[in-house]
A and B are shown apart, each in its own frame.
Chain A
Amino acid sequence: MLSWMAWTWPTAFVFIGIFSAMGVLTLLEIRRPGGAERKGILRLTTTRGDRLFITLLGSVYIFLAWLGLIGMPLWTPLGLAVLWGVFCFWKV
C-alpha cells in the first residue's frame, strides 16, 4: 500500500527524528508549560518550538550551502548543523 511513497531508511530516519523531537517538546510542554520563552542574543523572543524550527531550517541551509559550494562528503556540515542546534537551544 505504501509502495508509491517510495520509502527509504535514511528519509524515514529524518522524519522519525523530526517527529521524536516534536514529541519530546510536547512532553516538556506538558511537564513545564509556557515553552521556556526568553529573549535570546538575536533579540528574538523564542520558545522551545521556535528554537527547534530555527535549528532545522538553519541546518537545511547549512547542508544546501555546503552541497552548492563544496560538495560531498557531508560530515563537516553535519558537525556544523549540530553546533548550530546547540547554539540555537543555548543562546537564541
Chain B
Amino acid sequence: MKTPNQMGWLFVLPVVALVAFNALIPMMTVVNYSVQETFGNNIFLWEGLGWFEKLLHSERFHAALGRQFLFTAIILAIEVPLGVIIALAMPRKGFWVPVCLVTMALPMLIPWNVVGAMWNIFTLPDIGLLGYLMNSVLGVPYDMTQDPVAAWMTIIVMDVWHWTSLVVLLAYAGLVSIPDAYYQAARIDGASPWSVFRYIQLPKMKTVLTIAILLRFMDSFNIYTEPFVLTGGGPGNSTTLLSIDLVKIALGQFDLGPAAAMSLIYFAITLLVSWLFYTLMTKDDSK
C-alpha cells in the first residue's frame, strides 16, 4: 500500500525544528544535569542516579509533593463543578451573552504576577480590604501571613477566582453547540432538568470538559507565580508547592543536580497523570 502525499511533513518541519530548539535541547540538558554534581566554570562530576535516590527519600520533597497534589485536587474539585454550574446559568441568546462572556474572560486577561500582587494587597490583615473586613468589621481572625489555614484558603480562592472562567468558557462552548432539537425531544418526553443535564448536556460537554480538566490539572500542578507572589511559600513552608520548592533548590541554593532530578520526577508525574486522564476520558470514543 502506498501512502498518497507526504508533502505535509515538509510543512511541519519548521515547527519540529523550533520545538527541538526550545524544548528538546533544554530537556536533554536537564537530563544530563540530573546525573551530575555541578560546580562553577562548567565543572561537572558524575553522580549517577544518586540525586534521584536522595530526593525520593527526602521528607522535604514528600511534603512539597503532598501539598501540590492537595492543592490540585482541591481546586479541581471546586473549579470544575462551579464552572459547569455557571455555564449552565449563563444566557444562550440575546444582549447579555457578550456581557457575560467578557466579564468571565476578564480574570484570565490579568498577568499571573499581577493576580498574586492584587490578592496580596487585598488580603493583608491590616491594610487589605478583605483582611480589614474580616478582622475589624466581622471580627473573624484572618491573617494569611501567619496562619497556614488562612494562607491555603487564600491561594485556593485566588486560583478559583482566576481560573474558573476557563472551565466556564469551555463548558459554555460545549453547551451552545447542542442543537435545539435535543431539548425539544427532551421536552416531548417530559424529561426532568436533571435528565436533560445527565443525558444531553453532560455527554455533549464531555470533550471540552476533558480539555478543561486537563488544562486545569497541568496549570495548577505547575503553578508558581501566583502563590509565590501572594505568600512566598509561607507561613513557614505551608504553601511551598512543588514548583516553589524546585526554584528554591535550583536558584536559591544553586543545586542544579538535585533540581534537575526533581524537575524530571515532576515531569514524569505530569506526563503520567495527563496521559492516564486523557486515555480514560477518550477510551469510549475509540470503540
Contact = CB atoms under 8 A, between A and B. Distances in A.
Interface stretch (B36-44, B66-74, B91-99, B217-225): B36-44
Nearest to B56: A68
Given A6-B36, A15-B28, A71 B268 contact: no
A6 B272 contact: no
A4 B268 contact: no
A8 B36 contact: yes
A80 interface: no
Interface in A25-69: 33, 43-45, 53, 57, 60-61, 63-64, 67-68
Nearest to B52: A67
Contacts of A64: 52, 56, 265, 268
Contacts of A11: 28, 31-32, 35
Interface residues of A, number: 25
A71 B254 CA distance: 26
A57 B32 contact: no
Contacts of B272: 57, 61
A79 interface: no
Contact of B29 (A4, A57, A63, A74): A4
B215 interface: no
Nearest to A9: B46
B277 to A, nearest CB: 13
A5 B52 contact: no
B215 to A, nearest CB: 21
B265 to A, nearest CB: 7
B1 A10 contact: no
A5 B56 contact: no
Nearest to A71: B53
A33 B3 contact: yes
A6 B52 CA distance: 18
Contacts of A43: 283
A72 B25 CA distance: 29
A4 B44 CA distance: 10
A28 to B, nearest CB: 13
Nearest to B264: A60
Contact of A6 (B42, B268, B279): B42
A67 B49 contact: yes
Given A43-B283, A44-B283, A6 B25 contact: no
A7 interface: yes
B49 A74 contact: yes
B275 interface: yes
16 contacts: A4-B42, A5-B29, A6-B32, A6-B33, A6-B42, A7-B32, A8-B44, A10-B35, A15-B28, A15-B31, A53-B275, A57-B272, A61-B268, A61-B272, A64-B265, A72-B49
Interface of A: 3-8, 10-11, 14-15, 33, 43-45, 53, 57, 60-61, 63-64, 67-68, 71-72, 74
